[in-house]
A and B are shown apart, each in its own frame.
Chain A
Amino acid sequence: MISVEHLTKCYGDFVAVDDLSFEIDEGHVYGFLGPNGAGKSTTMNIMTGCLSATSGRVLIDGHDIFEEPKLAKKLIGYLPEQPPLYMSESPVEYLQFVGEAKGLRGEELRQQIAQVIEQTRIGDVQHKRISALSKGYRQRVGIAQALLGKPRVIILDEPTVGLDPIQIIEIRDLIRELGRSHTVIFSSHILSEVQTICDEILMIAHGKLVAFDEPGKLEKRLLSPNEINLVTDAGAEQAQKLLSPIEEISSVSTSPMDGGYLRVEIRTDSGDIYSVSRKIFNAFKSSGKVLLEMSLKKANLEDLFIELSEGADDGGSNADSNESEAKEK
């Protein structure tokens, strides 16, 4: 549906996007993830024709965004980081303008406006001035604008930034809903958000693609050992002695807690974390000491994210290997 080929964008000496290439298929929700300043907005602006590229090209369903801008842009609905709204108008008037600019006329225009108003649930405020609307509603008007003209791809740049928790949940639900009928690409620097909504994650750091995979698979790729945390009433020495026979454990660290309890952090390289925890449990049981708390810490995207973006920071072999893995996919 969308293919980005060797995209590079420089501002003077600063390279915002660095030889970025990826393909996007139809009918999924894609999360564009990266820390602030990673080049997410720049990439999105180039993909939608708002910005030129220094080199490389973007094809939307085979149409080059720079060579055939009209055909390509008709396939895309775009909501920039700051919703581009005319404050003196009402949502209906605003949508009318955008619809006409997208080539809709007469009955079709009226129908589509009514449809997107219902989809984004802005019916209550459709005749108010946009300047009087809350941030959440403004964001919805922005999304409604992107939906007009029935584009096949919806691109949303940080749609949940600056909203309150309830509004964030509503917008996320809306994105999920849109994902059923459109290809949705949205950017965010919040991991949990991307993790819950997306089918695929594109991770970008310092203008480079560092990972492109499903959220579950990305978690699996995390190489750091799994952790088991426990709280026990045994002493530090005793705990060390109890755990030392278990082979799978690679390191143990203890720290005393209030009330004479001990917190133990165990790292293991074993693939079967439950067998390790069973052994730990049995060791404590046989000694008569009690395990008051036991928790497994699974690798999460947060760690991977930090690892990958730091890797790109060094510009070392780590980033390269990740990138080549991403390309292989």
Chain B
Amino acid sequence: MTAVLKHELRIYFRSLTAYVFGAFLLAFVGLGSMLYNLQAAVSNFEFVLSFGCLVFVVIVPILTMRVIAEERKLKTDQLLYSLPISTTEVIMGKYLALLLVYLIPLCIISLYPLIFSQFGDVYLPTSYGSIFAFFLLGAALISIGLFISSLTDNQGFAAGIGIAVILLNYYSVSLSEYVSTSALGSLIALCVIIFALALIIRYVTKNDSLAYGFCIILLAALAILCWVDVEALEGLLPNIMTKLSLFERFYVFVNGVFDMTGVVYYLSVIVFFLFLSVQSLEKRRYN
């Protein structure tokens, strides 16, 4: 694992990726603190972070697009398979390298509240709580980017899908307001989502029975729910959309609540997508 970690770090710092990522993050957060903390003279650093998290839409896919897609393109993944290291170690090494690249600008950012506190009253616990949540949010998004990169050998495609996924996640709460809250609307939308997921599973695993099984089980669950309690379906879709939003959890920290469920939520997302990445890499051996 350390071998992969060191190797990845060397590649990031050899190419421009790590610097571009760091520069964008620092520039955006710097801009935010100039607007909020300096010009508007607000002493809450957490507002800067809630403004700054939009930058993830662009910089996370830029950072993660090559991580596995490039290995597949250059056929260096064959080396990784033939070395005496497990797929889990490869994914963990790569993920930790990404986290380190992300932590460096974050360390610089975490000095800002201290600097501002020299010139006025800054409530540091909220600031650092938010920085911690900001780190978790970024880490979760990076794990999603890593997974997307493992699906393809085309970096551009990985970046495009990454941007789309994070952008949708960012706006999912605002979008959920426009979604029908009626039971029928939710039912139809959920059916469509189930079919789409089944199609994706079929494409990724090339396993028909798994995709059909997944589809049928979820549809059956939906039918049972419909039959037992139709009212539960009312507002279900917008609820799900809100619950799935990674950014919405972050705003809880910005509002001054250190939400343990949020922390657990982020960690689960990270573990889930790293697990999927391992499976995706492992799957390559089977076709």
B285 touches A48 (CB 8 A): no
- Which residues A39-90 have CB closer than 8 A to chain B? 45, 48-52, 69-71, 73-74, 76, 78, 80, 82, 84-89
A102 touches B287 (CB 8 A): no
User: Which one of B10, B74, B84, B285 lies within 8 Å of A103 (CB-CB)?
Assistant: B84
Q: Kindly provide the distance from the CB of B216 to the nearest chain A CB, expressed in whole angstroms.
A: 24
Q: Please measure, in the bound complex, the distance between the C-alpha atom of A98 and the C-alpha atom of B7, giving whole angstroms.
A: 9
Q: Please measure, in the bound complex, the distance between the C-alpha atom of A50 and the C-alpha atom of B285, giving whole angstroms.
A: 6
User: Which one of A45, A69, A70, A84 lies within 8 Å of B74 (CB-CB)?
Assistant: A84
Q: Mark B254-287, 1 if CB is under 8 A from A, else 0.
A: 0000000000000000000000000000000111
A101 touches B14 (CB 8 A): no
**Residue A126 is within 8 A (CB to CB) of chain B in the complex:** no
**Residue B49 is within 8 A (CB to CB) of chain A in the complex:** no
Contacts of A82 in B (CB 8 A): 75, 78
**Residue B210 is within 8 A (CB to CB) of chain A in the complex:** no
B82 touches A97 (CB 8 A): no
Q: Which residue of A lies closest to B286 (CB)?
A: A52
**Residue B116 is within 8 A (CB to CB) of chain A in the complex:** no
User: Which one of A73, A86, A87 lies within 8 Å of B83 (CB-CB)?
Assistant: A73
Contacts of B225 in A (CB 8 A): none
Contacts of B75 in A (CB 8 A): 80, 82, 84
Q: Kindly provide the distance from the CB of A71 to the nearest chain B CB, expressed in whole angstroms.
A: 8
B6 touches A102 (CB 8 A): no
Contacts of B10 in A (CB 8 A): 89, 93, 97
User: Which one of A51, A87, A97, A98 lies within 8 Å of B285 (CB-CB)?
Assistant: A51
- Which residues B93-122 have CB closer than 8 A to chain A? none
B6 touches A97 (CB 8 A): yes
Q: Mark B1-25, 1 if CB is under 8 A from A, else 0.
A: 0111011001100110000000000
Q: Kindly provide the distance from the CB of B87 to the nearest chain A CB, expressed in whole angstroms.
A: 10
**Residue A100 is within 8 A (CB to CB) of chain B in the complex:** yes
Q: Kindly provide the distance from the CB of B180 to the nearest chain A CB, expressed in whole angstroms.
A: 42
**Residue B232 is within 8 A (CB to CB) of chain A in the complex:** no
Q: Please measure, in the bound complex, the distance between the C-alpha atom of A93 and the C-alpha atom of B228, giving whole angstroms.
A: 63
Q: Please measure, in the bound complex, the distance between the C-alpha atom of A327 and the C-alpha atom of B173, giving whole angstroms.
A: 67
Q: Which residue of B lies closest to A47 (CB)?
A: B82
Contacts of B83 in A (CB 8 A): 73, 98, 101-102
- Which residues B21-79 have CB closer than 8 A to chain A? 74-79
**Residue B196 is within 8 A (CB to CB) of chain A in the complex:** no
**Residue A145 is within 8 A (CB to CB) of chain B in the complex:** yes
B contact residues, total (Cβ < 8 Å) = 24
Number of A-B contacts defined by CB within 8 Å: 71
**Residue B81 is within 8 A (CB to CB) of chain A in the complex:** yes
- Which residues A96-134 have CB closer than 8 A to chain B? 97-98, 100-103
User: Which one of A52, A70, A145 lies within 8 Å of B84 (CB-CB)?
Assistant: A70
Q: Which residue of A lies closest to B70 (CB)?
A: A86
A84 touches B79 (CB 8 A): yes
Given the interface pairs A85-B76, A86-B74, A87-B74, the reply to whether A48 lies near B82 with Cβ below 8 Å is yes
**Residue B188 is within 8 A (CB to CB) of chain A in the complex:** no
**Residue B86 is within 8 A (CB to CB) of chain A in the complex:** yes
B11 touches A52 (CB 8 A): no
A76 touches B82 (CB 8 A): yes
Q: Which residue of B lies closest to A71 (CB)?
A: B84
Contacts of A50 in B (CB 8 A): 78, 81-82, 285
Contacts of A45 in B (CB 8 A): 78
Q: Please measure, in the bound complex, the distance between the C-alpha atom of A69 and the C-alpha atom of B87, giving whole angstroms.
A: 11
Contacts of B79 in A (CB 8 A): 80, 84, 98, 145
Given the interface pairs A97-B6, A97-B7, A100-B6, the reply to whether A49 lies near B74 with Cβ below 8 Å is no
Q: Please measure, in the bound complex, the distance between the C-alpha atom of A119 and the C-alpha atom of B265, giving whole angstroms.
A: 53
5 smallest beta-carbon distances between A and B, as pairs: A100-B3, A84-B79, A101-B3, A73-B84, A50-B81
A49 touches B82 (CB 8 A): yes
Q: Kindly provide the distance from the CB of B65 to the nearest chain A CB, expressed in whole angstroms.
A: 16
Given contacts A69-B86, A80-B82, 6 further A-B contacts (CB under 8 A): A52-B285, A52-B286, A85-B74, A89-B11, A100-B7, A101-B85
Q: Please measure, in the bound complex, the distance between the C-alpha atom of A89 and the C-alpha atom of B9, giving whole angstroms.
A: 12
A88 touches B11 (CB 8 A): yes
Q: Please measure, in the bound complex, the distance between the C-alpha atom of A78 and the C-alpha atom of B76, giving whole angstroms.
A: 12
A73 touches B3 (CB 8 A): no
Q: Please measure, in the bound complex, the distance between the C-alpha atom of A175 and the C-alpha atom of B270, giving whole angstroms.
A: 46
Q: Kindly provide the distance from the CB of A268 to the nearest chain B CB, expressed in whole angstroms.
A: 50
Contacts of A51 in B (CB 8 A): 81, 285
Q: Please measure, in the bound complex, the distance between the C-alpha atom of A207 and the C-alpha atom of B84, giving whole angstroms.
A: 27
